[in-house]
């Protein structure tokens, strides 16, 4: 089993406080505030990390799915948009994640590509983790 560790610290109240997040293995460390999470102030928010994790995992998993079927992609680019909004039961939640996939796979037909997308959405570890969210996938295939 592979385990990864990240940590965060928050100081102060919600609106005027501040925090920091970092991964234990290095490579990522960022401050965050209420304004960077719920506004448009520059800094990384937890939702940015959710989107990045899903984009990275999905791109890698789709590449594997296609390659396993004999269609090695030249390029798979995924943009993920995690939407944070009010939860009907109180507080906030990530209610949807939209994936925009752009893949260059010479000689691949659309039906095979769509089947690979479906299998990837079901098999990607991050997609499985976020199974309670609503996903939409918009995908372009280039040959």
Residues 68-113: tens digit of each pLDDT: 999 999 999 999 999 999 999 999 988 899 999 999 999 999 999 9
46-142: CATH class: alpha beta
pTM of the complete model? 0.90
Cα 34 from Cα 40, distance rounded (Å): 10
The confidence band for 51, taking pLDDT boundaries of 50, 70 and 90, is very high
Q: Domain limits of the chain? A: 6-38, 46-142
In a 10 Å sphere around its CB, with 0-12 CB exposed, 13-18 middle and 19+ buried, how is residue 116 labelled? Answer: buried
């Amino acid at each position: 089993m592979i385990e990864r560790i990240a940590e965060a610290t928050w100081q102060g109240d919600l609106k005027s406080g501040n925090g920091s997040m970092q991964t234990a293995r290095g490579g990522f460390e960022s401050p965050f505030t209420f304004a960077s999470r719920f506004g448009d102030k520059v800094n990384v928010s937890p939702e940015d990390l959710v989107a990045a994790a899903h984009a990275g995992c999905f791109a890698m998993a789709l590449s594997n799915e296609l390659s396993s079927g004999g269609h090695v992609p030249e390029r798979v680019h995924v943009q993920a948009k995690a939407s944070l909004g009010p939860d009907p039961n109180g507080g906030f939640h990530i209610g949807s994640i939209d994936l925009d996939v752009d893949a260059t796979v010479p000689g691949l037909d659309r039906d095979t590509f769509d089947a690979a997308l479906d299998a990837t959405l079901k098999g990607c570890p991050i997609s499985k983790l976020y199974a309670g969210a609503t996903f939409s996938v918009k995908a372009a295939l280039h040959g």
